[in-house]
Amino acid sequence: MTSRVQQADDVPDELLVTQLEIISYEALRDGSEVEATKLFNACCHDGIFYLDMVGTEPDILKAVDDIYALEQGIFDLPEEELMQYDIDVLSPRKLNGYKPIGRNRGELTGGKDGFQSYALPKDGIVNLGPTDFKRPQVVDNHMRSLRTFSLAVSTAATTILTSLSSTLKLSPLDSLQTSHCPYVASPNLIRLLKYAAQPLSERGSSHIPHTDLGSLTFLFTRQYGLQILGAESGAWEWVKPKAGYATVNLGDCLSLLTNKFLKSCRHRVNALPGRAMEERYSFAYFLRPQDETVMRALRSPLVSVGEVGEGEAESTSAEWMQRKYAMLRGETWNEKSSWILTGA
């Protein structure tokens, strides 16, 4: 299938493009102290970085191309067929199935979002845990690439967490990787995303500003659209897509496990200034802790341990995800709890 997704090179000269740290996966995997320091600083400052996978994981780069083809196959299906896999019916925990455009909170007309998504559970892809994995036939045509991608990204995630645990001086029992074991059932998933084209008159974020609910997000895209809230500028800065690189951002759970010492990156998806929103494809692997993981600060000499306030209760990873999804969905969003969207 010929890809309709093209790298966007023609962008306005005045575009405020963020300068993210580039982390060499190969160097980090080989134990480079320099690379470990770069990673740690990026996670403490911006909560986002590029992971250079060029030449290190050639199989994953081939899988990435095939997953773009899967996206087109999925989103070319008739809406009535996709709705047979409605994620809110098929998977109460939002791990498997289709979300139609406009169901989430957004900044477009009517306070709605501007994207479709399809979630594919990691456990179903790698045959781990329950095997009830309902899906369209087109997914099976790309299952080998999905498995290659899932396993490779899972290995990269373990490398990142091992490095951060070492720099944080966490004990083996408290290490980040103990709550992110790749060999046990988990709520990790791949999410395919298609943003609808919008006219120039429709201005606003297609994906409402938020922080991700999990630990690490590995994003792949060939088009502009992603913005992050600059740590120093306080302005929305554009993230340049880079072929062969994953854009990796930290989510709420890593921030909560380190009492916000590591930063959860606030981001959104938007049209380039002065231009209509173009049809945009991206996909991401979402790494989350095991469900029973309690969201409290781990014992690190670098991290202060806050106390649970009166009337508050520690939540597990599963409970936090449930609360976050309730704020993302337009029908269950409420102003009083909207802080949950940004993990504040």
C-beta neighbour count of 302 within 10 angstroms: 12
Domain count, the chain: 1
Task: Find the CATH number of the domain harbouring 142.
Answer: 2.60.120.330
Q: Does a structural domain hold residue 232?
A: yes
Concatenate the DSSP letters of all residues of 106-166 into one string: EEEGGGE--EEEEEEEHHHHTT-S-------HHHHTTHHHHHHHHHHHHHHHHHHHHHHHH
Q: Does a structural domain hold residue 1?
A: no
Single pTM value for the model: 0.94
Taking the C-alpha atoms of residue 287 and residue 232, their distance in angstroms, rounded to an integer, is: 27
For residue 299, give the H/E element and its range: none
Q: Does a structural domain hold residue 300?
A: no
Q: Does a structural domain hold residue 26?
A: yes
> Which has the closest alpha carbon to 286: 183, 194, 149?
149
Q: Does a structural domain hold residue 4?
A: no
Q: What parts of the chain have a pLDDT lower than 70?
A: 1-10, 130-131, 306-313, 344
**Domain range holding 281?**
22-293+313-336
Q: Does a structural domain hold residue 70?
A: yes
Contact between residue 213 and residue 251 where contact means Cβ atoms under 8 Å apart: yes
Contact between residue 28 and residue 35 where contact means Cβ atoms under 8 Å apart: yes
Q: Does a structural domain hold residue 29?
A: yes
Question: DSSP assignment, residue 104?
Answer: B
- pLDDT of the residue at 338: 75
Record the tokens describing residue 179, joined without a space: 């709550």
Q: Does a structural domain hold residue 271?
A: yes
- pLDDT of the residue at 310: 39
- pLDDT of the residue at 97: 97
